[in-house]
Amino acid sequence: MTKINRKKLLKWLNNLATTILFAVLIGMLFIVVSAKASGGKPEIFGYQLKTVLSGSMEPNIQTGSIIAVKPGGDMTRFQNGDVITYMEEAEKLVTHRVVDVMNNGEHVMYQTKGDNNDAPDSNPVLSENVVAEYTGFTIPYLGYLVNLSQSQNGAFLLLVPGLLLLGYSGFIIWRALKEIDPDKMEKQQQNGENGSLSS
């Protein structure tokens, strides 16, 4: 590889690394600020981000993933095959698939089941307890970071990419200074002074 090609490759890699670090920093900032602003429920464009803590919906939704759910609307609209997020008990949300819809007088209830479970859930879900519909959007493993961002020390997530970016910037500056040839700089300064005298 020629010296020029090597320099181009290094410059491209430097730009790529800087872009990735900035993207990570912005992503972390969004997660932390969004979680704090919405009371621990990150939200974007009306979709809430939820963390999956069990493997009941694997392989479609893996443990540690984050999923996007759409809250609101008529909670009696769901049919077999829809995936809903509902309140199973206080402070406990579950995301399972509807396998049966039951009308009980004025109430609509859903029989639900985790895709990875052998049997349906023991208790039907009242439509009033459904909080959102799963949109099909999931990002594996990012849920662990979201959980951490919702903790009291979540703001420290910003330190990691921030320190990486700061350290990387310092390294680039150090390399640039190291490549400067003192003799060459002195010659350039002398040439500049000579040029100013002759004019």
- Tell me, yes or no, whether 60 lies in a domain: yes
Domain co-membership, 136 together with 103: yes
- The mean-pLDDT minimum among 3-7, 104-108, 150-154 falls in 150-154
Range of the structural domain that residue 190 is part of:
10-40+152-199
- Tell me, yes or no, whether 87 lies in a domain: yes
Whole-number percent of the chain with pLDDT over 70: 61
Q: Is 54 assigned a catalytic role?
A: yes
Output the pTM of the full model. 0.58
| Rg over CA atoms, the chain | 28
- Tell me, yes or no, whether 1 lies in a domain: no
pLDDT digits (tens, 9 = 90+) for 50-73: 888 889 999 999 888 889 899 988
Kindly write down the DSSP assignment for every residue of 99-143, as one continuous string.
Answer: EEEEEETTEEEEEEE-TT-SS--SS-EEGGGEEEEEEEEEETTHH
Q: What is the pLDDT, as a whole number, of residue 89?
A: 81
Judged against a pLDDT cut of 90, whether residue 94 lies above it is answered with yes
More confident residue, 3 or 197: 3
Domain co-membership, 45 together with 34: no
- Tell me, yes or no, whether 120 lies in a domain: yes
Total domains, the chain = 2
- Tell me, yes or no, whether 2 lies in a domain: no
Domain co-membership, 109 together with 158: no
More confident residue, 126 or 177: 126
Burial of 124 (C-beta count, 10 Å sphere; 0-12/13-18/19+): middle
Q: What is the pLDDT, as a whole number, of residue 165?
A: 66
Domain co-membership, 160 together with 129: no
Choose one of 149, 167, 186: the last residue of a domain: 149
- Tell me, yes or no, whether 4 lies in a domain: no
Q: What is the pLDDT, as a whole number, of residue 106?
A: 82
Domain co-membership, 97 together with 163: no
Choose one of 107, 133, 149: the last residue of a domain: 149
**Cβ proximity of 61 and 137 under 8 Å:** no
Q: What is the pLDDT, as a whole number, of residue 196?
A: 47
More confident residue, 109 or 144: 109
Domain co-membership, 173 together with 122: no
Choose one of 131, 149, 167: the last residue of a domain: 149
Domain co-membership, 51 together with 74: yes
- Tell me, yes or no, whether 188 lies in a domain: yes
Domain co-membership, 68 together with 129: yes
Domain co-membership, 48 together with 25: no
Cα distances from 113 to residues 41, 50, 70, 108, in angstroms, run: 24, 18, 20, 17
Q: Which of 34, 38, 54, 198 is catalytic?
A: 54
Q: What is the pLDDT, as a whole number, of residue 26?
A: 67
Q: What is the pLDDT, as a whole number, of residue 92?
A: 86
Domain co-membership, 31 together with 64: no
Judged against a pLDDT cut of 50, whether residue 199 lies above it is answered with no
Q: What is the pLDDT, as a whole number, of residue 197?
A: 46
Q: Half-sphere exposure (CA, 13 Å, Cβ side) for 41?
A: 14
- Tell me, yes or no, whether 5 lies in a domain: no
Task: Name the phi and psi angles at 19, rounded to 5.
Answer: -60, -45
Domain co-membership, 134 together with 191: no
pLDDT digits (tens, 9 = 90+) for 14-42: 777 777 767 766 666 666 555 555 455 66
- The mean-pLDDT minimum among 9-13, 116-120, 169-173, 183-187 falls in 183-187
Q: What is the pLDDT, as a whole number, of residue 198?
A: 45
Domain co-membership, 102 together with 53: yes
Q: What is the pLDDT, as a whole number, of residue 97?
A: 96
CATH number of the CATH domain containing 90: 2.10.109.10
CA-to-CA distance for 128 and 126, rounded, in angstroms?
Answer: 5
More confident residue, 140 or 174: 140
